[in-house]
Amino acid sequence: MTLARYSRLVAALALSACAFAAQAQPKTRIADLWYAHNAVVTMLGSASDVVATVARPQALPWMFRVAPALAHAQAVVGATVNAEDLLRLNADVVFASAGDPTLGAMRRLGLNVVPVGFDDYDSMLQCIDLTAQTLDTPLARERAHDYRAYLQSTLSETAQAIAAHGAGTTPRVLHVASLAPLKVDGSNTIVDRWMQAAGARNAADGLRGNLKPVSIEQVLAWHPDVVILAANAGSIETTPQRALWQTLDAVRNGHVYRNPTGVFPWDRYGPEAALEVRWAARTLHPEAFAGEPAGSMLAQTQQFYRRFYGYALSSGEAQTMLNGAN
């Protein structure tokens, strides 16, 4: 090997080592442009490193209560984010939805963009692992590993309990994201996944995707056994279509439930999806969990936030979350 070739090889190896070292540095200035992913970053212990976020305390009050450091981040609008603003903020990494239309512009300016997203449990765990690798802190790696084990045990234990002690029925559940305008959630969604995990099936036959507008006539045709209202969906009692809703057996029989909320709505795309499975299974199949002590769900909620968010949730706060309130 000639001296010149050897020198080039040494220089190339040094450059590669520098690039690897730069990649391995913990990301201390984070821009997070996907609402749900802010809950992931918070769980992994890096909320105080977020310098720009699409999250708002008005929309996600629990998130800012659990991670008050987020209030110091610059508020941005995800769909119209100015890439140059993020450059001026010296963001080490930008987490953005894989469908964000500004991905190209951000990359052309040299920003380190990491696309994120998920629509089922496997892709959610992959997203959490990717985020932990990107953040590259001991706490992020520990919590990602711990959360994977928690979710997997939750799914397994729930399935076993329903199989062993359930009533043998599979209730048809309609998940209402909004009452006015009327929007529901169909298949190919995280909502559909937790329904299946909780021993139910989606009553919105033939509907695919999130937040789909439907008519009250379609809801009546589906005739669900159970209706679950998103925390901010509104109230059947105050909707102009109240009389039609009350023709459903689910409404007449009191099988309408308000979904809990938290750092992110439990029924949506955040780590609390694991708690959603526990809550939904106990709501839909109480007979399978009749042996649990009173207040079990309350205690599990408190344990979850202490374990994964480092937040000491009081029993009153936990009950407020379970009631779908802020």
Structure tokens, 113: 């963009």
Using one digit for the tens of pLDDT, what is the confidence trace for 115-173? 999 989 999 999 999 999 999 999 999 999 999 999 999 999 999 999 998 778 899 99
Chain-centre distance for alpha carbon 131: 14
Query: Looking at residue 167, what is its pLDDT?
Result: 74
Query: Looking at residue 19, what is its pLDDT?
Result: 37
Query: Looking at residue 79, what is its pLDDT?
Result: 60
Using one digit for the tens of pLDDT, what is the confidence trace for 179-189? 999 999 999 99
For the chain, give the secondary structure using H, E and C: CCHHHHHHHHHHHHHHHHHHHHHHCCCCCEEECCHHHHHHHHHCCCHHHEEEECCCCCCCHHHHHHCHHHHHCEECCHHHCCHHHHHHCCCCEEEEECCCCCHHHHHHCCCCEEEECCCCHHHHHHHHHHHHHHHCCHHHHHHHHHHHHHHHHHHHHHHHHHHHHCCCCCCEEEEEEEECCEEECCECCHHHHHHHHCCCEECCCCCECCCEECCHHHHHHHCCCEEEECCCCCCHHHCCCHHHHCCCHHHHCCCEEECCCCCCCCCCCCCCHHHHHHHHHHHHCHHHHCCCCCCHHHHHHHHHHHHHHCCCCCHHHHHHHHCCCC
pTM: 0.89
- Kindly give the pairing relationship between strand 182-184 and strand 212-213: antiparallel
Query: Looking at residue 81, what is its pLDDT?
Result: 77
Query: Looking at residue 25, what is its pLDDT?
Result: 59
Note whether 322 and 260 are within 8 A (CB).
yes
Query: Looking at residue 8, what is its pLDDT?
Result: 41
What is the distance between the alpha carbons of residues 95 and 93, in angstroms, rounded to a whole number?
Answer: 7
What is the distance between the alpha carbons of residues 291 and 153, in angstroms, rounded to a whole number?
Answer: 19
Point out which residues pair with 115 in neighbouring strands: 96
Query: Looking at residue 168, what is its pLDDT?
Result: 82
266, HSE (Cβ side, Cα atoms, 13 Å): 29
Which residue do the tokens 């789909």 mark? 212
Using one digit for the tens of pLDDT, what is the confidence trace for 274-291? 999 999 999 999 999 999
Query: Does the CA dihedral 294-298-300-303 come out positive or negative?
Result: negative
Contacts 24+ apart (CB under 8 A), 122-125: 124/151, 124/190, 124/269, 124/273, 125/151
In the chain the domains, ranked by start, together with CATH numbers, are 3-117 (3.40.50.1980), 146-322 (3.40.50.1980)
Q: What residues in the chain have per-residue pLDDT under 50?
A: 1-23
